[in-house]
Structure 1
């Protein structure tokens, strides 16, 4: 196969450094992975005798395929034997063609095995029982370095009990002294963000009162990385077991700490995780008290701001929170007082996803049916009537259908007073969201 490469011009006096010459370079076919057709970085051979790049064949197998892509034979085993001969030939070829700008492919590291992961986890558990924080930190950093080497290593670590060992370690040292073992606890929290799911034992350790208290302290701290890791772990915990919400709400300052992450974003990932936690909190047994607290500290304007340019998942979660807030009198009052509420809600109808539209319909229904004439009039002026008609046409759930019908009947009462109908809006060309 022939690939175009750019080589710096040579042999001409005064040639500028940024001048390049287009050349064509042939890459031997047996150097290319049969799946990706790229130069192999880590060639491995299957039981069928065909060599692939490790990353490509692992993706093939991980998606559920059980055959050799080239021969279509059923694989007797999924073992992948490193093909050192081909790898050495590829490296030599790269060196020979260095003048064409080709960099030598580094010798790949041998992937970690499940046995090695189990061995590290056992050593962490033993060090935890001895209360040897230094050894735990050393083993944890070794595990993190192995995970950084490749996605395969990371998957192997996750699948072989790492999270359970780390959760137990976190709980023990948090119970001894958070101040004394801050560095270790921060490192564990960082690792836990990519080692979920925990499993039953791990959840019991990380979801204990001691562990949650420690996580909440990091959530309220000044270290941005620790705050990010804390909210990511809380999101995973709550997603696995809703009961942790009540325990979390009993910790003083948690609501304010979550609000700060929404108010002063750390990163999109942290914002999304924070919204998930808040969403579950507004669904809890103490939802009324929590909702009022979020409204009082000023959450609504920042949730509305997120809606302006948030991506699909963030918009869905933000609208879900507003839907819960609008179920309360104080929440509706706070939304009425914000000038962006109705315009943003109407704009999001049929613009994000079916889930987002369902939330918007529910929120508008609560705002308009709450005997607030201004909400009805403003919605109509912004084109909500026409958009709601389209929602019925493209289809929606029974609950949403009933809410849309009631909204249309209510808005219809104002049709003689407002000139808000525009038959030329072209909604018939609107595509149904995914």
Structure 2
């Protein structure tokens, strides 16, 4: 029998409900029972909505959902007649709130993608920016039509071809080719993660210089595309990319500026992630150099300021960086000097997430155990006064990693001699002034 679609709708004039809208069974996909928007017929003779049956096969099924026959030919033939009938039915029921389904576009094929990417490579080789720009726009158009098209584009090597083109035009001239470079970067942003060949091209000196140029000179949208691409590139942990970035003047200053200004959530989050990749590089020389440079630029205070009122995601990223900076003496020194440090770290224990608890305890442990003796004693006393002793006892009770448990236990032992004559209060940094 026919099934009902939607709820009863009230007549605007009389206020009485109209009759329920009924979708004929032949218009419904046998898999989801929803109105078909792009009906296609399999070799078994059964018609399904394209998106539903593609998802069925992508999940590893090899049979027709209705007949249970093994499908040996996965061709999906568009059922144009049924599409037109469904559209006519939608128009007839428009007064009852039914929207007409758009005419389905024919999905692209791997051959379509490969042919277009060959032309992209050819135009970039010849530095034909206008020809390449048109091709990139066509890729964007295809990708905007359906998720299936996006998968087909990515699976057939688009990231490698576009990254190679980006490198070629960046090598030629950033200013002259800025329009096509921005278009390529925009397209790449929805194709992550990068393939290996794409990593090499996007990680070249010319490409890195171009992305940094975008961060300095482009509008907000251009900056966002660039910092997200940079974050994606560094996520693979290639030391060569970190070393190449070190050679570009002003990178560290730019990232700290983004943290301080917080011009958009996307840029703030991606900048924090980029900084983390830089300070946790596998290259020991780069690692220490990066930490020192960021500390000298005031990143410790910048992180503390941004942590006061940040959302969970940003707080976690910032705290991980702060803990990493506390590994070097200069980082701990800057943390000691900031009135926000201990109260904020203690306040957030068991407040935000298990991860923030872990890194808050770790940072407090480093500040109280290492460095100048005067600083260590002051840090212990301040931590006690803002409620660290009670918080650390709770950490041990609610459960934590073995490493965090060891640090919490050691902190409790270090604080214990002071507990008899120090008044412990709950941590609160609302009345503390920021460092700027």
- Tell me the equivalent position of 1:428: none
CA deviation map 1:114-159 (0-9, x unaligned): 1111111001111122221111111011111111111211121111
- Tell me the equivalent position of 1:321: 321
> 2:370 matched to 1:373?
no
> 2:240 matched to 1:265?
no
More off after superposition, 27-36 vs 169-178: 27-36
- Tell me the equivalent position of 1:279: 276
Contact 1:7 1:23 survives alignment (8 Å)? no
Provide closer, same or farther for how the CA distance between residues 42 and 385 of structure 1 changes in structure 2, counting only shifts above 3 A: farther
- Residue 286 of structure 1 aligns to a residue whose secondary structure is helix
CA deviation map 1:247-303 (0-9, x unaligned): 112100111111222222343233222111100111233333322332333323432
Contact 1:7 1:101 survives alignment (8 Å)? no
Gaps of 5+ in 2: 427-436
Provide closer, same or farther for how the CA distance between residues 309 and 173 of structure 1 changes in structure 2, counting only shifts above 3 A: same
- Residue 416 of structure 1 aligns to a residue whose secondary structure is coil
User: 1:74-223, aligned counterparts within 5 Å?
Assistant: 75-223=71-219
Provide closer, same or farther for how the CA distance between residues 222 and 299 of structure 1 changes in structure 2, counting only shifts above 3 A: farther
Provide closer, same or farther for how the CA distance between residues 335 and 8 of structure 1 changes in structure 2, counting only shifts above 3 A: farther
- Which of 405, 412, 417 pairs up with 2:416? 412
- Tell me the equivalent position of 1:235: 231
Contact 2:31 2:52 survives alignment (8 Å)? yes
TM-score normalised per structure 2: 0.86
Deviation at 1:21, TM superposition (A): 4.8
Provide closer, same or farther for how the CA distance between residues 72 and 248 of structure 1 changes in structure 2, counting only shifts above 3 A: farther
- Tell me the equivalent position of 2:340: 340
CA deviation map 1:287-345 (0-9, x unaligned): 33322332333323432344345444433221110111111222223223333323332
User: 1:390-409, aligned counterparts within 5 Å?
Assistant: 390-409=394-413
Contact 1:282 1:291 survives alignment (8 Å)? yes
- Tell me the equivalent position of 1:386: 390
CA deviation map 1:394-417 (0-9, x unaligned): 433332222111111112222212
Contact 1:47 1:79 survives alignment (8 Å)? yes
Deviation at 1:95, TM superposition (A): 0.7
- Residue 142 of structure 2 aligns to a residue whose secondary structure is helix
User: 1:354-369, aligned counterparts within 5 Å?
Assistant: 354-369=354-369
TM-score normalised per structure 1: 0.87
CA deviation map 1:165-210 (0-9, x unaligned): 1111111111111111111111111112222333332222221112
- Residue 418 of structure 2 aligns to a residue whose secondary structure is coil
The 2-side partners of 1:77 and 1:360 are apart by 57
Contact 2:237 2:277 survives alignment (8 Å)? no
The 2-side partners of 1:332 and 1:22 are apart by 70
The 1-side partners of 2:205 and 2:332 are apart by 34
- Which of 219, 225, 244 pairs up with 1:247? 244
- Residue 226 of structure 2 aligns to a residue whose secondary structure is helix
Contact 1:386 1:421 survives alignment (8 Å)? no
The 2-side partners of 1:211 and 1:239 are apart by 16
- Tell me the equivalent position of 2:9: 6
Contact 2:124 2:165 survives alignment (8 Å)? yes
Contact 2:159 2:198 survives alignment (8 Å)? yes
- Tell me the equivalent position of 1:26: 22
More off after superposition, 93-102 vs 262-271: 262-271
- Residue 48 of structure 2 aligns to a residue whose secondary structure is strand
- Tell me the equivalent position of 1:54: 50
Provide closer, same or farther for how the CA distance between residues 133 and 282 of structure 1 changes in structure 2, counting only shifts above 3 A: same
Provide closer, same or farther for how the CA distance between residues 318 and 113 of structure 1 changes in structure 2, counting only shifts above 3 A: same
The 1-side partners of 2:152 and 2:385 are apart by 56
- Tell me the equivalent position of 1:431: none
- Residue 413 of structure 1 aligns to a residue whose secondary structure is helix
